[in-house]
Structure 1
Amino acid sequence: MKKLIYILIACVLIGFSSCDDDFMETKSPDKLTSDNFWRNANDAEAGMASAYSHLECATDYWGFAEVKFPVELYPSDLVRIGGDAYNYEDWLAIYNFNVNSANTQISSYWDIHYRGINFTNQVLENLMEMTEEQIDAAKKNELISEAHFLRGYYHFKLLLAWEKIVLRDKYPKSIPETHKALSERSACWDFIITDFEEATKNLPSSYDAQNVGRATKWAAFAYLGKANLFRAGEDSANATEYYKAAKAALAEVVGSNNYSLAPNFISMFNGTNQNSSESVFELQLSNNTDNGAWFKFPHHRWLKPKGLGGWDEIAGSDFLLSEFKKEGKVASDGRYDHRLYETLFFDDEYFNDSNNPRVYGYTFKDWWDYTSTAYDYTGFRKYLPASYDDLRAKSHGNNMPLMRYADVLLMYAEVLNELGETSTAIPHINNVRAIHGELPAMTGSDKAAVRAQIEHERICEFAMEGSRFHDLRRWGKLNETMAANGRTGVTDDSHFFPIPESEVNSNNEIE
C-alpha cells in the first residue's frame, strides 16, 4: 500500500464523453482515456490505488475528521459532544438523532463511499478485459479478489449506516445507468457477503514491505466473519446459519497463526507501532511528503481534548469512564483496566504523578484548569500522536487500525458462545483481557455471563473505533441502552440515516 498510494491516478478514468465524432475533432494518440488506460499490470495497480483512495473518507484535508468522526462516533453512548461542536448544526443533528436528508456530513459520507465503489467497479470490469499478454493470470486474479474486498467493504460501511442502499455492481457508462433503486436489506447482505467470499479466493496471505496495508486473505475472512455475525443479529430466524458461517470465516484467521495481540495497546494508535502484529487491516497514512505526496490530516486537532489545545469536538462520556472502572482496580499492578489509561485522559493519580508526568511531559492538573469545569473533562487519548511535537503539529499521518486481531478474537468468542460452545469462547476473551488490560480471567461461565462480558470488553477495547452503535443495534439493545445513558431521540425510525437529498434528486429510481 505504501507503494500504491504514490502512484498518480489519471483523472480521465472517472470521466464521461458525450461528444459525437466528426471530421473536425482531433484526437491525441498519446492521451489516456478510460478506453486505453488499462494496458498492463502497472495500469491495473494504479487503478487499484484509486480504489483504496476513498477508504475511511480520507479524501479531504479537513473533511476526513469532520465527516468520518461525527458520522461514526457521535451516535454512541460512549461519547459526549464537545463545546465547539455546538457551532455546527449538522454535527449536532447527528448527535441528537434528528438528521434530515440535507445533512452535509451524511451526504459526504454516502458520496465518498460510492466513489470508492465506482473505482472498484472500474477495476473489476477492466481487469476482466485484459489479456494474458497484458497481465499475468495469477496477478489478474489477485487484483480481482482485492477489488471484490474493497467493494464489499465500502458497501458494508454504507449498510451499517443506512437501512437500504443502492447496490452498485457495475460502473455506469451513461446517465440512465446511474438510476438504480434501493435494494432490500437481505439482498444487500447477500451482495456484501458474496464479495468478501470472492475476496478470500485469490488474495495473498501477506505482502512485502512496499505493499503492506493492502487487504490480505485474512482481512477478507475477518470481514466475511463480521458481516455474517452482524447479519445474524438482524435475522433471528436464520441466525444459526450466519453464526456458523461467521465461525468458519473467523476460524480461518485464528487458525492462521499470522496474528498476535500487541502488548502495548496505545502503540497501535499513536504511530509507534504501525501495521503491528495485531493489524489485520489498517488505513495507511504517512508523514512522508516526498515528491508532493500528502497523506496526513489535522484529525488529531479535532480529537484532542480542549485541555491539550484541541478543538473540543468530542469527549468521553461518564458512562464510558464508569464502565472502564466497573471491575475496580484489579489489574496486575493494582490499577484499573490498562485500556482506560490508554483510551482516555482523566483526573486520576496515574496522570497526576509529578515524578512521572504522563500527559506529554506534564500532569493532568498542569493541563486542565482546576478553576473551570474543564477539570471534570474526560478527553480521548486514543489516536493522538505519541510526541508533544507531533501533538502540536498542524497535521500528522499516523495509521488507523480498521480491523484488529482483538476484534477477530472477540467476534469469534461471540459466535462460539451463541452456538453453545461457551467454554471454548472464554479463553479468547481472557486472552484480550490479559494482554491489553492486564486483567485477571473473567468471572462467570454460562452463556449469559459471556454475553455480558463480551459487551463490556467491546466497550473497553473499541471505544472510538466506531463499533458501539452498531453493536447495540444488532444486539437489540440500542433504544434501552442509549436512553439509560442519557441519549434521547433514538427510536426505531432513527436507527438509520435518511437517504441523502442529493441522491434522491439525481436518482430517478428513488422517491
Structure 2
Amino acid sequence: MNKYIYLFFICIGLSFTACDESHLEVKSPDQLTGENFWRNESDAEGGLAAAYSQLECATSYWGFAEIKFTVELFPSDLIKLGNDALNYEDWFSIFNFNSTAGNTQTTQYWNIHYKGINYANQVIEKVGDMSEEQISTVAKDKIIAEARFLRAYYHLKLLLNWEKIILRDDYPKGLSSIDKGVSERSECWDFIIADFEAAATKLSESNSTDNIGRATKWTALGYLGKANLYYASENADATKYTAAKTAFTSVITSGNYSLESSFISMFNGINQNSDEVLFELQLTSNTDNGAFFKFPYHRWLKPAGMGGWDEIAGSDFLLQEFKKEGKTATDGRFDHRLYETLFFEDDYFNDIANPRIYGKTFNSWWDESGTPRNKTGFRKYLPETLEELNTNSIGNNIPLLRYADVLLMYAETLNELNETSAAIPYINAVRARAGMPAMTGSSKTDVTNQIEHERVCELAMEGSRFHDLRRWGKLNSTMTDHGRIGVSDTSHFFPIPESEINSNNAID
C-alpha cells in the first residue's frame, strides 16, 4: 500500500482555480487532474493510498510526534511534562486546558484529518463512477468500503476532540462547497456509525501479505463497537450498548484475534502486525525508491535520564495506579504492564546482575544525566535495541486498536447491560496476560471500577484516558484530584481552529 502514497499523494489533492472565459485556457493533455486521474484499478488503489496517508498525522518528519502525541496525550492525568516541553507555549496550553483557536498543534490535527476525509470522499465518488471495464465490481466495492472506513475513522478522531465538527460527506466541487457549518453531535455519531456499518459489509476478512495494515471487516466492526459504546456512554442510550455488544461479539467469536504473550513486543518493533492488533499504523525504516515512513518519535518520548528530548513523563498517579494492587503478580512483582510501560526506580530495573535498560540499570542511566526533573520515563513505544534507540529515526509500527481494548470495551458494554457476571472473564483474560490474579468483587460497581483501572494500565499512552473520563462523567473531578487544575466544562473539547473560522463563511 505504501508504494502508492508518494506517487499519488499530490496528484489527487483538491484544488480550485478561478476561470474567466475572456482568457484563453490552455490545458496540457498529459496533466493529471481530479477528472482524468481515475482510469483503472491501479489509479483507484493510488487514490485510496492517499486517503490512508493521513493516518495519525504521520505526514511530516517533526510533526508526527508533536501533533499526534501533544493533542492526544497532553490532556490526560497519566502524563506530566518534561523540561523541554515547557518551552512550547501551544503544547503547554493543551496540558493546562486553555488552548485557543489559534493553537498550532490542534489546528494541524484538524486540517490533517479533514485532508484525509477529502481524499476518502474523492475515492468514494470517483471510484463509484468507474465502469466495469475500468474496475471489477468486487475491487470497486472493497476500495469504496475502505474509503468509507477511513472517512468514519477520521471523523471519529475529530469528534473525540471537538464538541461539534463539520460533516464532510461528499467531495467539494468548488469554492461554494467549502462553506459548511458544524453538525449536531448526535448527527455526527450517526454518520460515523453508518459508515463503519457499511464498510464492514464489504471489507475482506483478511489481507494478503502485500496488503498488511489495510482495514478489514473486523477492523470496521471493532471501531463500530467503539463508536456505539462511546455514543452510549455519552448519552446513556441502551440501544447503542446493544449495538456495541453485537459488533464486539462478532470480533471476539471470529477467532481471528488473541492476546500476545509479550505486551511490550507490540510496541518496540519486535512483533508488528501481531494477532492482537485489529488496526496498526504501518511505518518502516526501508527507504527504497525514495519512500520515507520513519520518524524521530522515540527521541521525543525518550526520557532526559536516557539522553532524550524530555517532552513527556509518566505522572505520579499513573505509577501509583499500577502499584495499587501491590506485588501480587504470579512472580511476586507488580503488574507486568508497569515494567513494560514505564522506566522507574525499582529493584527490577536496578539489578546489576541483569541490567534491563539497554544494558544499564535505572540508577546508572539517571545518575549519568545529573538530577532530571522526572524519574518516571515512558518505555512504551521505545525500540528494543540500544542501536535503534540512538538512531535519528525509526520505522516501528504503532498499534491503533488492539484486541485487549476490544475485550475491555466488551466487558464494559456487558456490565452496562447488566450482564455483569458475563463481563468478568474478559477482564480477567487481560489481567492474566499481565501476570495478575483474577479480579476481586462481583458487583456492577466493582466491575466498573476494575475496568477503569485496567484501561489505565493496559492503554496508557494509547490516547483513550481523557475521552474515557469525559464520557464517564468523571473528567473534572478526577483531573482535579490528580492535580491537573484548569479543566472545566468549557475545556472538555478544543475550540474550532481560527483558520477554519476565517475560511468558512458558514462558521461564526
TM-score range, shorter chain: over 0.9
Alignment of 1:252-291 (within 5 A): 252-291=250-289
Aligned 8 A contact 1:2 1:213 in 2: no
Aligned 8 A contact 1:106 1:500 in 2: yes
Alignment of 1:159-198 (within 5 A): 159-198=159-198
State yes or no: 1:406 paired with 2:404.
yes
**What SS does the aligned partner of 2:401 have?**
strand
The match for 2:156 is 156
Q: Percent identity?
A: 65
Alignment of 1:299-314 (within 5 A): 299-314=297-312
Deviation at 1:371, TM superposition (A): 8.9
CA distance in 1, matches of 2:494, 2:23: 51
CA distance in 2, matches of 1:137, 1:433: 45
The match for 2:457 is 460
Deviation at 1:4, TM superposition (A): 4.7
CA RMSD of aligned residues (A): 1.4
Deviation at 1:17, TM superposition (A): 3.5
The match for 1:140 is 140
CA distance in 2, matches of 1:510, 1:26: 36
Aligned 8 A contact 1:433 1:441 in 2: yes
Which one-letter code corresponds to 2:376 in the other structure? T
Deviations 1:436-471 (A, max 9, x none): x11111111111100000000000000000000000
Structure 1 gap ranges (5+): none
State yes or no: 1:473 paired with 2:470.
yes
CA distance in 2, matches of 1:6, 1:216: 23
Aligned 8 A contact 1:2 1:212 in 2: no
The match for 2:417 is 419
Aligned 8 A contact 2:267 2:381 in 1: yes
**What SS does the aligned partner of 2:372 have?**
helix
Alignment of 1:109-148 (within 5 A): 109-148=109-148
CA distance in 2, matches of 1:385, 1:5: 25
CA distance in 2, matches of 1:309, 1:228: 43
| Residue-pair matches, total | 508
**What SS does the aligned partner of 1:368 have?**
helix
Deviation at 1:24, TM superposition (A): 4.3
Which one-letter code corresponds to 1:449 in the other structure? D
CA distance in 2, matches of 1:75, 1:266: 24
CA distance in 2, matches of 1:315, 1:125: 44
Deviation at 1:29, TM superposition (A): 2.1
State yes or no: 1:496 paired with 2:493.
yes
Deviations 1:400-424 (A, max 9, x none): 0000000110000110111011111
Deviation at 1:373, TM superposition (A): 3.8
Deviations 1:352-381 (A, max 9, x none): 111111100111011002895428610000
**What SS does the aligned partner of 1:258 have?**
coil
CA distance in 2, matches of 1:351, 1:339: 14
Give TM-score scaled by structure 1 length: 0.97
State yes or no: 1:430 paired with 2:428.
yes
Deviation at 1:3, TM superposition (A): 5.0
CA distance in 1, matches of 2:208, 2:20: 46
Deviations 1:113-162 (A, max 9, x none): 00000000000010111001000001101111111100000000000000
**What SS does the aligned partner of 2:413 have?**
helix
Deviation at 1:11, TM superposition (A): 2.5
CA distance in 1, matches of 2:280, 2:7: 19
The match for 2:17 is 17
The match for 1:35 is 35
CA distance in 2, matches of 1:12, 1:224: 29
CA distance in 2, matches of 1:61, 1:465: 20
CA distance in 1, matches of 2:422, 2:341: 29
**What SS does the aligned partner of 1:374 have?**
coil
Give TM-score scaled by structure 2 length: 0.98
The match for 1:348 is 346
Decide which moves more: 9-18 or 138-147: 9-18
The match for 2:361 is 363
**What SS does the aligned partner of 2:400 have?**
strand
The match for 1:248 is 246
Alignment of 1:23-62 (within 5 A): 24-62=24-62
CA distance in 1, matches of 2:507, 2:127: 31
Which one-letter code corresponds to 1:193 in the other structure? I
Deviations 1:232-265 (A, max 9, x none): 11112xx211100000011110010000001100
Decide which moves more: 222-231 or 26-35: 26-35
CA distance in 2, matches of 1:172, 1:373: 55
How has the CA–CA distance of structure 1 residues 186 and 23 changed in structure 2, closer, same or farther, with 3 Å as cutoff?
Answer: closer
Match of 1:387 among 370, 377, 385: 385
CA distance in 2, matches of 1:362, 1:289: 31
CA distance in 2, matches of 1:9, 1:466: 27
The match for 1:204 is 204
Which one-letter code corresponds to 2:438 in the other structure? A
How has the CA–CA distance of structure 1 residues 291 and 446 changed in structure 2, closer, same or farther, with 3 Å as cutoff?
Answer: same
The match for 1:396 is 394
Aligned 8 A contact 1:10 1:32 in 2: no
CA distance in 1, matches of 2:23, 2:476: 66
State yes or no: 1:214 paired with 2:207.
no
Deviation at 1:501, TM superposition (A): 0.4
CA distance in 2, matches of 1:259, 1:96: 38
